[in-house]
Amino acid sequence: MFYVKRAQKKSEVERLYALRYQVYCNEKMFLDANDYPDGLEHDEYDSSAIHLGAYGPEDTVIGSLRLVRSTKMHFPIFDHCKIDDLPTDATSLEFAEISRLMISKRKRSATRRPDTPAPFRVETQRKDFNDFGISNLLMELFRVMFSYSKQRNIKYWFAAMEPSLMRLLQRYHFNFQPIGPMTDYYGQVIPCIASLAEIEKQVAEKDMNFYLQFAKHLTDPSIGAIEETMWPPEGFVIPS
């Protein structure tokens, strides 16, 4: 069993940073552990992000992701990927980027099928998420993230995704479209974009049972739009 919630307190967010350090620095070696002597992986984008954590038995952190926001179209994906044409019907406040999506090694090991071999080199290979039997956990993270996005009038998600994750999400009608060539960005990934309006339409039309689960988060009073800090920052004015 598991549940997903937003991490808001400093101590809660730091637990997610610790998981990111474990996965990105120790397991996959995407980042140099020496750059994070406190054992917490974080960067300049975290201060404007919504952080979601997935928790298992005894409140163990088993997964996380963040939704990065920006007032000036400054997102991690632009630092690493070549991006083609973007939608012109939204301001920077109506875009957000999904990043630092990860599942703990303990969770992956606990749910791996017995006949599935471990990745030969965990520091370079991004294994197909579906092999780990964790699609339910991913869907819960995405459903909760969708609710936070809708409440904040976010229209589009950016993401840099492995093809295997894109295929898995497509099964649930979370359709991400490529907006640039594949690149090496913590593994081989494709820069993508998804329309939240299109996701909601597809889910409602093609899988009503899933939509009823999906939609419960849109009316969940525990997922409120009130934030502990103002967003966008006080005094911000959308450029004319």
* pLDDT confidence of residue 23: 93
Say if CB 183 and CB 81 are below 8 A apart.
Answer: yes
Residues 174-191 have pLDDT tens digits of 999 999 999 999 889 999
Band of residue 143 on the pLDDT scale cut at 50, 70, 90? confident
Residue 133 has pLDDT above 60, yes or no: no
Mean pLDDT, range 187-200, rounded to an integer: 94
Say if CB 190 and CB 178 are below 8 A apart.
Answer: yes
Q: How far apart are CA 35 and CA 40, in angstroms?
A: 10
Domain extents in the chain: 3-219
Mean pLDDT, range 49-78, rounded to an integer: 93
Q: How large is the angle between the packed helices 208-216 and 196-206, nearest 10 degrees? A: 130
Domain range 3-219, CATH class: alpha beta
Residues 79-94 have pLDDT tens digits of 999 998 899 999 999 9
